Chains A and B, each alone.
Chain A
Amino acid sequence: MQREALSKGFVYTLLIIGGLLMILPFVWMISTSLKAPNEVMIMPPKWIPDIFHWDNYVTAWTMAPFARYTLNSLVVVIASTIGELITTILAAYAFSRINFYGRDIAFAVLLGTMMVPGEVLLIPNFVTLANLGWIDQYEALIIPWLASIFSIFLLRQFFLSIPKELSFAAKIDGCSDFRFLWSIMVPLAKPALITIALLKAIGSWNAFLWPLIVTSSENMRTLPVGLTSFSTDAGTMYELLMAASTMIILPMIILYIILQKYIIEGVARAGIKG
């Protein structure tokens, strides 16, 4: 009994330490975002500023065209998330339910491409897009991200765990392939799909390198790229950068809190069926 309590105490301590370590950068970010410029770099570090400079947020927002950046980010996130869901659902269905020639080899090749580091693809992708004339346009920000092998793999595994008799039953009931996918498989896969969508939305919202490379005009910048406005030749305005970062992160945290029960369900379920 006592040993159990002890080991439980140990586990909780470990988890609390882990949690604190995870949250530390966020606390520091918010703290910095409220400081005066001269407080940012002083030693020893100051966790709570003397005066809370809420005006940093206003200054940061007005210093660069953040409204435009937000619009761009939203367009990119929504389009690429919806696009990825569509391609993922169709591909996962084909790879799990339709018998076509060379299916398993095709899938193995797709999985193989996951081994290629993303950085290697930056230049070939850039060249391709340049030839298509899409550089500095929404196409460049969205189209290369419309499919994810990882998501296809995840959803395919989920689809495979649904017994084939369910599709047999649907076929006897007079349900077409597409109808079956849409009105039976998709609702069943909701937790997996929400997980996929959320991971995608967060990734896309935070994406920095690719938007930086393929956009050049102010009008096409997304929020993370917009943050570079606070770094100038004269140095970086950390308090403003942190204020902007806080504003950018907020929507993702809210989205996560709203949807987290589905994510946990999705991961837990994947664990059981594994």
Chain B
Amino acid sequence: MEVQMKDVTMQFNNITAVDRMNVTIEDGELVSMLGPSGCGKSTTLFMLAGLYKPTAGEIFFGDRLVNKIEPEHREIGMVFQNYALYPHLSVLKNIMFPLKMRKVSKGEAEELAREMAKLVQIDHLLDRKPGQLSGGQQQRVAIARALVKKPKILLLDEPLSNLDARLRLEMREEIRRIQQEVKITTIFVTHDQEEAMSISDKILLMKDGKFQQFCPPQEMYDHPENEFVASFLGSPPINLFPASLMDNLKDVSISGTNDVITLSSPLKEGMDPARQVTLGIRPEDFYIETDEKKQGILGKTIMVERIGRDNLLNVEVQNKTVRAIVSPDLRIERGDVVKLGILPERAHLFAVHTGENLLDSKLR
């Protein structure tokens, strides 16, 4: 089912947890909600679930306005960060619980619950109590319980945060598999950007209750709307240089150096020129420039580290460390002065005050 938020706002006393959220999530999409701690992810989810009533704005499921509809009538399934299984009930009873509340006959409920348990591969654990399960198994029970009533929307609040790295990897594949198997609109809260990048159709990035960007992961990575989005995604993070835009609106001079970079993408229309800017370059968008005449950023190598097939260089520019991931074909030693070239169309330019991306780099 399609989910639409129109100017949705949630206010607690004097804290605005969510500020005028406008997003439309299409039917069958898996959307990751991403952002730093306290940015309003859980609050947004609780509003979609109907557990919190928004202070302002409208929420639509399909074309039905659901603001006044109670959680049990919203046809949602939810998995909580701490799973929230009923501790005194067996796994089977936990999964049957939503059906029992809907007065489904016992036999039928049990059959459906067993079916769902099989889907999440816990059908051998049905008689145990939640306390006797591992974190990953509990989570699957929680997913089964959320799915058993055949909801139209699945809400997952940091379901993987308590798991160890390997189990996490396994479980997120699992969630993706189940989601595609039952083709259900899914909203998945996480603050792990790598997790969001790997499983979602789209990412919804938030900061301080404010919506930042909503688009497919790769697009968000390549075309961040603002400096925050650019620096939130990517590891090692994007390199940021204070710089100024020159009068021709094509050249950027990096503050404190003689280095000038000519932009290969045009500025957005209607930008007012000659302003202080921040130049952003991702580590993997650098290469080692050997041609004397070409542009680049000069710096002294302070560390060389082999990571997989590439080399990670730490280069000192203006007393700041710039990280570059470059091909190891060219031998570089600690202490070498290198010129870091920038791959075409890979530079990002942000306004200093608003953080807004100034380049019109979208491939339309």
Contacts and interface: CB of A to CB of B under 8 A. Distances in A.
A168 B46 contact: yes
A90 interface: no
B328 to A, nearest CB: 49
A188 B80 contact: no
Interface in B9-29: none
Given A166-B86, A187-B88, A188-B87, A174 B81 contact: no
A19 to B, nearest CB: 34
B78 interface: yes
- Interface size, B (range): 20 to 34
Given A168-B78, A173-B101, A174-B102, 11 more contacts: A166-B84, A168-B80, A170-B86, A171-B51, A171-B70, A172-B49, A172-B51, A172-B72, A172-B76, A173-B98, A184-B88
Q: Which 10 A-B pairs have the closest CB atoms?
A: A174-B72, A174-B101, A165-B84, A173-B98, A169-B84, A165-B80, A187-B88, A172-B71, A171-B71, A166-B84
B77 interface: yes
B103 to A, nearest CB: 9
Interface of B: 46, 49, 51, 70-72, 76-78, 80-82, 84-88, 97-98, 101-102, 145, 149
B102 A169 contact: no
Interface of A: 163, 165-166, 168-175, 179, 184, 187-188
B88 A188 contact: yes
B87 to A, nearest CB: 6
B56 to A, nearest CB: 20
A169 B72 contact: no
Contacts of B78: 168-169, 172
B84 A173 contact: no
Residue of B49, B72, B80, B84 most packed against chain A (CB within 10 A): B84
B72 A173 contact: yes
Contacts of A170: 86
A185 B70 CA distance: 21
Given A165-B81, A168-B80, A173 B97 contact: yes
